[in-house]
Structure 1
């Protein structure tokens, strides 16, 4: 790929051009800065101190930002509602289709098949690497919380089987899930940032996988070795508090309960899903194909676009098949056959499974939509342009600035999604001046910042603490440190790619 001029020069020129072509914001620059600070402060305070749901916090924060920025009282929420609608239209459908694929993967036993096959062929010494690979593969279509609930029983059974510290095999699995959650679509955070920044989804997906591989290696299997020395946990005798009655040579995601996977309901609690005895479990190859199919289609589209072959017959077909909505829709339909009728389920059972996949993502869709509304309020009020101009004038590269903003919001709120939403809204004017590769890398820099330093205000912190039976201090030394290392390594990798692409 040809080298381009420094992205900061592109961004500064674009902002200057926009300022010349459009009317100046109604409010002064100091007022707009105060508006941004006030809006973000309200969101942080409501989430951290009042424990308000992020959806309501984002709505109220958008209102405060609009009022302080001088937007008329009757138009306070006009930008918010417009942004919410466009975001749900652009991202919400993709999240829903991803939820269908993930639900079918778990309930059919396809996820178990992937886990079993990899673990059965892995020597004990390489189990940390195997757990990272498992998390990396099945983490592509699964939300982070679902992946955690699915893999924690596997971690405990593996640790019991080889009589080792569960941190040794648990940290690689958590690193794989977290990296996919922050860096790779169709996870909600990356999708939202791609939509807000106008980045190319296929290109971001390809670069996200490229960044995720070394990041998971460093923050997973390699980091797990010193962590096991700092936090010494005995090999587990139970799996999530339940005595493991399974045999030592059956490391499945069962928790010793006889071949069931795990998933999460709307309230975030683990529920067992046991296929009927008459149902057939899908093969390893079919399970992996369903997981990777949307990735293959979207990457093929990006290759066609980069090669300039979009006008050819095959290029037109690949561009259509690689459209994110088309790729995920085709994969969902394929999964209905492979994991549904292909395993012996009836049409009614499939309909019920699809319906049940939507309940857990209702809250996510509301948060994502509200984040789009907040982003649009930032843009329409002129706040985003002022902040972006300040970043450009300060000489901070967009990639580093995006990471810093996301990391600070993440530390303050504990929410990776809120951090991504806020950072994407602030960085949107800068992204307009970036070439497609740099825009995709900005998405990844924001995603890397959004997972930095998980601590006591993050639900994931307590989820890991309870599942591993650790103290708060031990959770800081393992989970929190792993998240910080993962975030920094991802940023460094993004900066390296930004310097050479």
Structure 2
């Protein structure tokens, strides 16, 4: 359904005339190189996170790995690598490199600013306590455990935007209810909460703004496509989880 709606929409123009002329002079890098530049900071951040879990506090490399694995440092390393691999190693002058980087700023700046604004809006809702109050109200309805996990997580996701907060809050609210379940049932309850956190991505979710801005969609078009898509995925995953729950 989202694909059909997208086909009927007129997307924003990809670039201006100046950016098109500039792109004609650029020999694009290979797929492997671009992919590696995307994967490297993710791998560095994961290394820092895993080291904090697996290494003892007294390990001499722990502090170094955690420093390098912090998001700001990892992204800075990726930026330096990209500058060297994509510009200096290919013989670009500083002026040519500056022109290319400058042409990318308008698109990236809009995405960063709007994403940040969406995140701030979600944080305001989290701090206001509206999500917790809504979850407590749903918990008092005395729903079956699996639908309760999904609905509470979905309501939290819709009210404050963060899937992580929705899933973790749902887990805390239902922690006592799952005490007597076997491990497989606990996993299914967790999956139900995760699928609830997947759905209803809209204007208070920073991911919503990333998708709409990169695809050139308006807010209305994003709600018709991205929000509908994530909600369908969430409900589909929950129905599959519920079927497995019924079998076991």
Normalising TM by the smaller chain, what interval? 0.5 to 0.7
The Cα of 1:121 is off from its aligned counterpart by 1.6
* Residues in 2 aligned to 1:27 and 1:116: alpha-carbon distance in whole angstroms: 56
The Cα of 1:208 is off from its aligned counterpart by 2.2
Aligned residue-pair number: 210
Residue 97 (structure 2) pairs with residue 76 (structure 1) = yes
| Secondary structure at 2:189 match in 1 | helix
Residue 172 (structure 2) pairs with residue 153 (structure 1) = yes
Q: Is this contact kept in 1: 2:119–2:204, CA < 8 A?
A: no
Residue 168 (structure 2) pairs with residue 173 (structure 1) = no
Higher relative contact order (CA 8 A, sep 6+): 1
Quickly say closer, same or farther: Cα 1:24–1:85, change in 2 above 3 A. Answer: closer
User: Which TM-score applies when normalising by structure 1?
Assistant: 0.35
1:87 to 101, 108, 111: 108
* Residues in 2 aligned to 1:114 and 1:40: alpha-carbon distance in whole angstroms: 41
* Residues in 2 aligned to 1:168 and 1:114: alpha-carbon distance in whole angstroms: 23
Q: Which residue of 2 aligns with 1:48?
A: 43
Q: Which residue of 2 aligns with 1:189?
A: 207
* Residues in 2 aligned to 1:159 and 1:77: alpha-carbon distance in whole angstroms: 56
| Secondary structure at 2:175 match in 1 | helix
Query: RMSD of the alignment, in Å?
Result: 4.0
Q: Which runs of 5+ in 1 are unaligned?
A: 231-501
Could you report, residue by residue, the CA deviation over 1:137-158 in whole angstroms, capped at 9, with x for unpaired residues? 2213332333333222023233
* Residues in 2 aligned to 1:57 and 1:82: alpha-carbon distance in whole angstroms: 22
Q: Is this contact kept in 2: 1:62–1:77, CA < 8 A?
A: no
Could you report, residue by residue, the CA deviation over 1:416-456 in whole angstroms, capped at 9, with x for unpaired residues? xxxxxxxxxxxxxxxxxxxxxxxxxxxxxxxxxxxxxxxxx
Q: Is this contact kept in 2: 1:132–1:173, CA < 8 A?
A: yes
The Cα of 1:78 is off from its aligned counterpart by 4.7
Q: Which residue of 2 aligns with 1:120?
A: 140
Q: Which residue of 2 aligns with 1:25?
A: 24
Q: Is this contact kept in 1: 2:203–2:209, CA < 8 A?
A: yes
Q: Which residue of 2 aligns with 1:459?
A: none
| Secondary structure at 1:156 match in 2 | coil
User: Which TM-score applies when normalising by structure 2?
Assistant: 0.64
* Residues in 2 aligned to 1:152 and 1:163: alpha-carbon distance in whole angstroms: 14
